[in-house]
Amino acid sequence: MRVTRPPVVKTRPSWKEDDLFGYYAEIRSQGVAYLHYDQLRHRFSDKKKCDAIWAAMKISRLLSSMFLDPLQTDNEGSGVYLNTTATIQKSCSIVDRLTSSAAETERYEKLDARKYLMDELERAEAIASSQLEGAATTSRVALEMLKVGRKPRDEGEKMIMGNWRMMQYVSERDNAPFSVAELLEIHHVAIAGIDDEKYAPGRFRGPEDNVVVADHEGNVIHTPPAAELMLAGVEELCEFINTRHEQAEDETYLHPLVKACVIHFMIGYLHPFKDGNGRTARALFYWYMLKCGYTAFRYISISKLLKNAPAKYVRAYLYTETDNMDLTYFVNYQCEIISRAVVEYIDYIKGIINTRTELRQWLYDSGIFNEINSRQRDLATIAINQPGVLFTAMEVSTRMGVSENTARDDLKKLTALGLMRAMKEGKGNVYLSPKSLHELKKWHGKTANQPSAQDW
C-alpha cells in the first residue's frame, strides 16, 4: 500500500494570501474531511497550489493541536498530537448517550432474558478480531465452539479461543493502575498455547526479532521502533493510560473514547510483541471503555466492521505515521467505525424486541404454551427472544439450574414442537432457534402431521 508523504512545511511558509484564502474557501469552509496530503493532491492539478494549501492547512492544524504528553515516537522526542473533528465530536456524543451503564439499564428494563440475548454479541468481537488477524474459521463454527466449549482444532480456532479469554480478562479487570507487567499478562492470556515459538506469549520482542508490518503483497509498510525504544515507549504509554485525562479541567482533557483510540494506535505503532499486537491493541481499547463506565462495549464489535475494509484500517495508521504522528487521522477513522458499530448494536436490540413481540404472540395464538410446562415455557421464551442462535444442553443446564439430562429433554421437546432445530455437533446435538416468525412457522408446519411431541 503506497501513501504519498506530505512535503516538509517550513517554519515560515512562503505562501501568498491567495493560498491561505484557497485553503479556507476550498477546504475549511466546505466542511471537507480531515485530508491527508495523499488525498489532497488528487484535488488539485497544480502541485504548487496544492503544496501551498497544504502548508496553510498544516500550520492551522498545528496551532489548534493538543500534544499528548508523555507520548513520544523516537529518540529525538518527537511528540504525538491530535485535533478534534466533527466526526470525533459526534462519535463521543453517540457513545455518551447510548453506551453508558445508565443507558444500558434503561434499555434492558423491559427486555427479558438479557443474558441469553447478549451471549452472541459478547462473543462477536473475539471472533471478528481474530478473523481480522487472519483466522480462517467462519463465524458460525467459531460461535459454536465457544458456546459448546469444545477444544480448538486448529490455529484459527485457538486464536479465537485466546481472544475470548482475553476479552473476558479485560472486562473483569478492576481499576488498579495499569503496568508493563499487566500488558505482558494480557498478551499471555490471549496467545499462550497457540504457537508459542511464533507468538512468544507474554514476552516483548527483542533486538534479535526482525518484526515489521507488511501489506498483502509483502511490501513493508511499518517498521516499529527498535526494541530499546519500544520498551521506553511502553512505559510512557502506561503513564499515559494512568493519567486521569477524563477528569482534567484544562486543555489536557480527553474524552475516554478518544483516549481509548489513542491507546489502540500506540500499541499498534510500538508493536511490542512478535505477533498478536492487533488483538492486544483492540482488547485494550475495550478495557478502557469498560473501565470508564461504557458497559455496552461488552456487546459492540468494532472488528466486525474493520475486517470488512482492512485497507482503510491500515491506511488510517499510515496517514498518521507519514504526517508527523498526527493521530487525528486514526482517531477520526476509528470514531467513524465506532459510531456505525453503536448504531448497528442499537438496531439489533430494536430488532430483537420487535421479533420477540411477534413470536410471542404467535406462540400464544398457536396454543403451544398449553403443551409445555413452565420451565419449558421459559426456555421457549428465551429461544424466541434470541433468533438464530445456538443452544446446548450444558449451557441450558447451567443457566436454568437443572440437570443436563433435563435440559436436553426440554430442548428435544421444543424441537419436536418445531420451536427449535437440532444440529449435529461432535457426538451430540446443538439446538438452533428460528431467525424469524416466517421460519418458525415453516418449522412448525413440518411437524403438523408428525406424532405428538410427547412421543419423541
pLDDT in tens, the chain (456 residues): 789 999 988 755 555 555 566 666 666 666 668 999 999 999 888 898 888 888 888 888 888 999 998 787 664 446 899 999 999 999 999 999 999 988 877 776 656 555 555 666 778 888 888 888 877 777 778 877 887 778 888 888 888 888 888 988 888 887 889 999 999 999 999 988 888 888 899 999 998 888 888 877 777 888 899 998 999 999 999 999 999 999 999 989 999 999 999 999 999 999 999 988 999 999 999 999 999 999 999 888 898 888 888 889 999 999 999 999 999 999 999 999 999 999 998 888 887 777 777 777 887 888 887 888 888 887 887 787 777 778 889 888 877 889 999 999 999 999 998 889 998 877 778 898 887 778 877 877 765 444 333 333
The closest alpha carbon to 380, from 112, 48, 90, belongs to 112
CA dihedral 169, 171, 175, 179 (to 10 degrees): 40
Please say whether the beta carbons of 156 and 136 come within 8 A: yes
CB 208: neighbour CB atoms within 10 A?
Answer: 6
In whole angstroms, what is the distance from residue 272 CA to residue 386 CA?
40
Burial (CB count within 10 angstroms: exposed 0-12, middle 13-18, buried 19+), residue 155 = middle
In whole angstroms, what is the distance from residue 181 CA to residue 165 CA?
18
Q: For 82, phi and psi rounded to 5 degrees? A: -155, 140
In whole angstroms, what is the distance from residue 11 CA to residue 14 CA?
9
Please say whether the beta carbons of 317 and 334 come within 8 A: no
Q: What is the largest CA-CA distance in the chain?
A: 89
Judged by DSSP in three states, 326 sits in strand
DSSP state of 405: H
Q: Give the DSSP per-residue string, 123-174.
A: HHHHHHHHHHTT----HHHHHHHHHHTPPP-SHHHHHHHHHHHHHHHHHH--
CA angle (262, 267, 270) in 5-degree steps: 115
| Cα 380 from chain centre | 31
In whole angstroms, what is the distance from residue 342 CA to residue 422 CA?
33
Please say whether the beta carbons of 411 and 423 come within 8 A: no
Global pTM value: 0.84
In whole angstroms, what is the distance from residue 303 CA to residue 167 CA?
13
**Grid coordinates of 255:** 474524552
**Grid coordinates of 107:** 434499555
| Cα 87 from chain centre | 18
Residue 112 to residues 116, 118, 379, 383, 438, Cα–Cα distance (Å): 9, 11, 12, 11, 22
Half-sphere exposure of 292 (CA within 13 A, CB side): 25
Strand partners, 421: 432
**Grid coordinates of 2:** 503506497
CA angle (320, 245, 188) in 5-degree steps: 70
Q: Which residue has the cell 448517550?
A: 97
**Grid coordinates of 128:** 471478528
Q: Give the DSSP per-residue string, 75-133.
A: TT--EEEE---HHHHHHHHHHHHHSSHHHHHHHTTT-SSHHHHHHHHHHHHHHHHHHHT
The closest alpha carbon to 83, from 52, 50, 57, 51, belongs to 57
CA dihedral 61, 67, 68, 74 (to 10 degrees): 100
The closest alpha carbon to 324, from 76, 88, 73, 11, belongs to 73
CA dihedral 128, 132, 136, 137 (to 10 degrees): -10
CA dihedral 154, 157, 162, 168 (to 10 degrees): -160
CB 66: neighbour CB atoms within 10 A?
Answer: 17
Element (H, E) at 248: none
Judged by DSSP in three states, 251 sits in coil
Please say whether the beta carbons of 205 and 173 come within 8 A: no
